[in-house]
Structure 1
């Protein structure tokens, strides 16, 4: 695994972005933009590629965009990071039923060389695989109460953009994937590179943020919850 204590002598850092039908575009586009800029600023230190869950052809949420992934789960190269973007809860509930995805997450988590990053509701996929048990994690504020009730072995952290548990990073809603990606760049390339990307994106990077409050009566609850 790359030695993150030595920011100047690391090998190439590879980031696999897992894609599936009806994925939220911003959940993966934001992190890709961060790593693309990091690649330019570090003369190729970062390499990002996309991985299709079932096939290379992916349709984003509401079929707004068709993407051809670089690889599938059957043939993608080894990576340092695997980023799993989120989707609407109806899509997430179907993905939770996908035993091949759950097995993939469990298997990749076993490797000491791989870190897994969730964006938004993809935290449910990690929680369902059991790899967040006993750890701190976050998710989209709108589903936070449901997540906390459904996964009592996980310590939900509110009012943050991301939570870093070393081997697993969970980020909250949509654009927080940018913060998680900037955090990774800062870890490997330092605050100067991180700051340059932050300014280039005209973004305000941070870890802590007071979450919005869902309108009365609009809090997400799974069908299993009755109160």
Structure 2
């Protein structure tokens, strides 16, 4: 992925637009991260007004979007949901038909729905809009609870900060876990929130460093090769298993088992990138037990085998990646 087109229209949402610019538009060559040819595009070049009154001057029309490796569709205002610009619909259809990556943030899903490219697929949007999207397009399987959904090369995300998670998820597949972690650190956000996590999290951040769940989570990441169950984790937190599981989901947006599975995948990614250890060894270090279980979980989450991932993102390759 070398070229990225970010599509905005009248009434665009500044935060979600900024997320795309931050994730794909900044020069991070000094951190060893490949740059993208990132361009903001609109149905017509010129002034485009946001939903809070200020405007930006867009230099490019939609021409570049027809050749971009990734096309990002920013949110559109409610008044446009039933009358999506046909020029933008054409871009969405073209991107999917030629196999480009497609990412919608928040109500940008209404653009993809209007283009018909979500028919028969899973998708999400902001929970406030999910019922409307489902009523307008019953042929789409809407999941209102998750942060983002990937179906093929189409990624739809929930509102606001979930767009960051979706961007990092996509980057993880394109530039690998290590470089994505560098981007996340630069953005000062956690790199590991999985798409299946809930949009509703009672307490998104632990209230103090001494929070027992945060302490246990940190310990678990350092002991992934061990057999970690709710009973064991709850005992370390000095809680009953039932209380621990309930509070963990409230704070982390996922069950302990799902969260641990994701941490093991991330650890496996980094080992594949930085070592030449055999898969059996990596599987043991990450807590999968066997190479077969590692392969199954790795392919299910990332859509690629561990061997193919290593071939693409090994340290030798990362070191020679140039600017896009």
* TM surpasses 0.5: yes
Whether contact under 8 Å (1:52, 1:71) holds in the other structure is yes
Query: Which of residues 83, 93, 99 is equivalent to 2:86?
Result: 99
C-alpha separation in 2, matches of 1:193 and 1:108: 26
Whether contact under 8 Å (1:34, 1:181) holds in the other structure is yes
Q: 1:8 aligns to what?
A: none
C-alpha separation in 1, matches of 2:63 and 2:24: 24
Q: Scaled by the length of structure 2, what TM-score is found? A: 0.56
What is the root-mean-square deviation in Å for CA atoms of aligned residues? Answer: 2.2
Asked whether 1:35 is paired with 2:24, we answer yes
C-alpha separation in 2, matches of 1:126 and 1:190: 27
Residues 7-52 of structure 1: CA distance to partner in whole angstroms, max 9, x if unpaired?
xxxxxx1110011111001112112112245743345442211111
Residues 71-121 of structure 1: CA distance to partner in whole angstroms, max 9, x if unpaired?
101456721000000033124334x2x322222322232112x12111100
C-alpha separation in 1, matches of 2:34 and 2:200: 38
Q: 2:197 aligns to what?
A: 209
Q: Secondary structure of the residue that 1:63 maps to in structure 2?
A: coil
Whether contact under 8 Å (2:44, 2:60) holds in the other structure is no
Asked whether 1:54 is paired with 2:27, we answer no
Q: 2:76 aligns to what?
A: 87
The alpha carbon displacement at 1:183 in A equals 1.3
Q: 1:120 aligns to what?
A: 106
Residues 115-155 of structure 1: CA distance to partner in whole angstroms, max 9, x if unpaired?
21111001011111110011110011101112122211111
Q: 2:5 aligns to what?
A: 16
Residues 185-209 of structure 1: CA distance to partner in whole angstroms, max 9, x if unpaired?
1111111111122122221341233
C-alpha separation in 1, matches of 2:11 and 2:166: 22
Whether contact under 8 Å (1:34, 1:178) holds in the other structure is yes
C-alpha separation in 2, matches of 1:15 and 1:75: 9
Q: 2:225 aligns to what?
A: none
Q: Scaled by the length of structure 1, what TM-score is found? A: 0.78
Structure 1 residues 38 and 185: alpha-carbon distance in aligned structure 2, compared to 1, 3 A threshold = farther
Q: Give the number of the structure with larger relative contact order, counting CA–CA contacts within 8 Å between residues 6 or more apart.
A: 1
C-alpha separation in 1, matches of 2:176 and 2:50: 33
Q: 2:271 aligns to what?
A: none
Q: 2:138 aligns to what?
A: 152
Q: Secondary structure of the residue that 1:62 maps to in structure 2?
A: coil
C-alpha separation in 1, matches of 2:34 and 2:134: 40
Q: Which structure shows the bigger proportion of residues in helix conformation?
A: 2
Gaps of 5+ in 1: 3-12, 214-227
Asked whether 1:69 is paired with 2:58, we answer yes
Asked whether 1:186 is paired with 2:172, we answer yes
C-alpha separation in 2, matches of 1:62 and 1:121: 16
Gaps of 5+ in 2: 202-324
Q: 1:169 aligns to what?
A: 155
